[in-house]
Amino acid sequence: MRILPLIVAGLLAATSASAQDLTAGAIAVRDKALTDTLAWDITESLTSEVGARMTGSPAMERARDWAVAKFKELGFENIKVEAFTTPTWSRGAESAEVVGPWPHKLAILGLGGSSSTPAGGITAPIVVFKTYQAMLDQPVGSLSGKIAVVTQSMGRTQDGSSYGAVGVQRRAGAPEAAKRGAVGYLIRSLSTDDTRLPHTGGGAPGGIPAAALSPPDAELLERLAARGEPVMVKLDMTSSSNPASPAWNISGEIRGKDKPDEVIVLGGHLDSWDPGTGAVDDAAGIGITTAAAKLVAQAGKPKRTIRVVMWGSEEQGGSSGAYLAAHKAEVGQMIVAGESDSGAGRIWSVSTPPAAAGHPAMTAFRAALPKMNVMVSRAPPVSGGADISGLISAGVPFVDFNQDMSRYFDLHHAADDTLDKIDPKELAQNTAVWAAFLYTVANSDVDFRAKPVAGAAK
């Protein structure tokens, strides 16, 4: 009887043909993406027609409407606007200056969560700490009546790891300074540039005014303090907070033809900070992921559903939890999740869940990468992105597509975060990587969830 060998041979031939088809399709959408301008067009549209988009602002309402219109224009289906509320902070008038012994205007941006100064501002001596830890080492009450200044700098890295290393001084510094009696808190911007453009970002409320200094101004205060004379700084800052601002997660789908309930979730965050136009953070991510999904759809209706989400409050928080709450029932049907939120620099490595490493879909995806100078990391994905952290905690598999962040923190949360800083070719390379991945996953049965080991203890 030769029936069984013939059946096995037929199955192997079908699998081989499927793998070949996936590879050919991935390469085709990759090549199309590398010359396509859709990601750029979307990014340009958002930054030009809406601009800066802080959650809780009228601009965010315009961004919501822009997102719905863009999904409709591009032919996405099942468009949803999912409302939630989240605490927000908004900026008012701000100024800072050295008033003695030598007067200097200082370039600052208030940190999210900062309190206002009393009317007319505050004037107080500064105490400079070259590291955040040096401030933490001070006893309670030791900074009474003073403005704490932390001048620790941030290094330039390809993977952005230096941001995590020093980010705590922005996120948690104001309450720690207040705990030691400080009446104000200033930090050197979390940035890698040397301009007089400070970089804002979220911070924990400390009940005191808190702001980021431009790097040159942080160095100025360091030099002045080193001379040994008391340095007096005046801060005048206003801001407001809303404990329950309206926000929205907006999504559109490329519906699957065979398994529409199996969903690939990807996207970027629609909101931004206010100094620039939120181009690299994160209009680029919106453009990359939306364009990638559209390019896959143009290659033929996929078997699985691709859902692009424009998350509505990443910078000030809330979108991840709201999205999980709204979609908890379908977590088991989510094949994989990913977020593009590291700017517009080219993707240099990818990390995918190891459980699917040998699947033909991942073989096809890897075959599309060498032309784009992208390496496949052996390490499993680590973070995924802030807006999919809720899905990850619920067990949804996720990917890390690691972008070159060498210049990202020159622009991040600053007035220089504008469209002209984006290289269209690098933007297209990002789109091509995402499109190749989406094509292989959406047109296969790849399962990224780890399987139980046979015979394992129960």
**Element containing residue 148 per DSSP (H, E):** strand 147-150
- Please tell me the distance from the alpha carbon of residue 284 to that of residue 57, in angstroms, as a whole number: 21
Which residues lie closer than 8 Å to 9 by C-beta, 6 or more apart? none
Question: Which amino acid, 159?
Answer: D
CA-CA-CA-CA torsion sign (435, 440, 445, 447): negative
**Helices in 131-283 by DSSP H: which ranges?**
132-136, 161-166, 168-171, 173-179, 215-226
For the beta carbon of residue 9, count every other beta carbon within 10 angstroms.
11
Question: Which amino acid, 377?
Answer: S
From residue 187, how far is each of 9, 214, 273, 369 by CA, in Å? 67, 9, 18, 41
Question: Radius of gyration (Cα) for the chain, nearest Å?
Answer: 25
Residue with tokens 């230096």: 162
**DSSP structure string for 340-405:** --S-SSPEEEEE--GGGTTSHHHHHHHHTSGGGT-EEPSSPP----GGGHHHHHTT--B-EEEE--
For the beta carbon of residue 60, count every other beta carbon within 10 angstroms.
23
Phi, psi of 252 (to 5 degrees): -145, 155
Residue with tokens 């939630």: 84
Query: For the chain, how long is the longest CA-to-CA vector?
Result: 99
Tell me the sheet residues that pair with 259. 304
Which residues lie closer than 8 Å to 107 by C-beta, 6 or more apart? 196, 197, 198, 213, 214, 216, 217
Residue with tokens 């705590």: 168
Residue with tokens 């991040």: 412
Catalytic one of 176, 253, 314, 315: 314
Active-site residue, 94 included: no
Catalytic residues: 314
